Amino acid sequence: MEIRLLDVARQELDDALEYYNAEVPGLGDQFLLEALSTFDRIKEFAKAWHPYTRCQTRRFPYGIVYEILESEILVIAIAHMHRQPGYWRDR
């Protein structure tokens, strides 16, 4: 199944990359690799988590919130696990 990100989820990913690269050069790149690895895990085990539940990254405090649709996996949020829980529910 293909993974597609909502525009707002893509912006959250970009914001996290920018933040981590500003903190430590190259850390944003490491975050991107972790996010891509998490996307791969979601593709492989999409039904292992409940829909609208986060699949947490391993190294960073982020979860990928997604929904399984008929022909794709839709990423709803790249959510920081310690900020505003459930803020993405209206998406």
Encode pLDDT of 9-66 as tens digits. Answer: 999 999 999 999 999 999 999 999 999 999 999 999 888 877 667 788 999 999 999 9
How many domains are contained in the chain?
Answer: 1
Answer yes or no: is 13 within a domain. yes
Buried b (16+ CB within 10 A) or exposed e, 18-37: eebbeeeeeebeebbeebee
CATH number of 26's domain: 3.30.2310.20
Residue 81 has pLDDT above 80, yes or no: yes
Examine residue 91 and state whether it is found in any structural domain, yes or no.
Answer: no
Return the half-sphere exposure (C-beta side, CA atoms, 13 A cut-off) of residue 73: 24
Query: The sheet that has 2-5: what strands, in order across it?
Result: 2-5, 72-80, 62-68, 54-56
pLDDT of res. 15: 97
Question: Quick one: pLDDT at residue 54?
Answer: 75
38 is in which domain, residue-wise? Answer: 2-80
pLDDT of residue 27: 98
State pTM to two decimals: 0.87
Between residues 46 and 8, which one has the greater pLDDT?
8
What's the pLDDT score for residue 51?
A: 62
Would you say residue 89 lies in a domain? no
Which two structure tokens, joined as six digits, stand for 69?
A: 């649709």
Residue 57 CA, distance from chain mean position: 8
